[in-house]
Structure 1
Amino acid sequence: MPMVTVSISPLQAADIRAAVDNGSYASSSEVVREALRMWDAARKLDGYHEEMFDQGRAPRSGRCVADMFADHEAEHRRTA
């Protein structure tokens, strides 16, 4: 698997550590991979909404990746 180095804020690092420490994720890499999957899904969904909006068939979603991740985390906590 390719290695990529990124910079994150201390708060983001603490949140990732907390997610691993509380057992929600097995590793920090797992947290980041899931966030990237959600980002990719949001980009694809947004592209779909833009296309539909341009065709006059649907409103823009107005949701960002952070909203999707927060929803996912809340669902994960409910089912844990």
Structure 2
Amino acid sequence: MPMVTVSISPLQAADIRAAVDNGTYASSSEVVREALRMWDAARKLGGDRDEMLNPDCTPGGGKCVAEMFADHEAEHRRRA
């Protein structure tokens, strides 16, 4: 698998670590791959980038990435 180096904020790193520590994900890589799948799905649905990434999650044409990821995590927890 190709390696890519990215920089993330300390808060993002802590959130990723928490998702692994609480058992929601098996590894940090799994969290990032899932986030990228959600980003790709949102991108394919179209819409304005700023709208999809709106921290208030109030896009005009559907769910923003944060909502999609939260929905997915909730489903992941229900199945566990």
Fold shared per TM-score above 0.5: yes
What CA distance in whole angstroms lies between the structure 1 residues aligned with 2:74 and 2:61? 24
Q: Cα RMSD between the aligned structures?
A: 1.6
| Within-5 A mapping of 1:1-80 | 1-46=1-46, 60-61=61-62, 63-80=63-80
Give every structure 1 segment of 4 or more consecutive aligned residues whose post-TM-superposition deviation is greater than 3 Å. none
What CA distance in whole angstroms lies between the structure 2 residues aligned with 1:60 and 1:70? 18
Size of the alignment, in residue pairs? 68
Cα deviation 1:33-52 (Å, max 9, x = unaligned): 011011101111126xxxxx
Unaligned runs of 5+ in 1: 48-58
Q: How big is the shift at 1:13?
A: 0.4
Q: How big is the shift at 1:78?
A: 3.0
What CA distance in whole angstroms lies between the structure 2 residues aligned with 1:67 and 1:74? 11
Aligned identity (percent) is: 88
Q: Radius of gyration: which is bigger?
A: 1
Say which structure is richer in helix. Answer: 1
What CA distance in whole angstroms lies between the structure 1 residues aligned with 2:19 and 2:40? 21
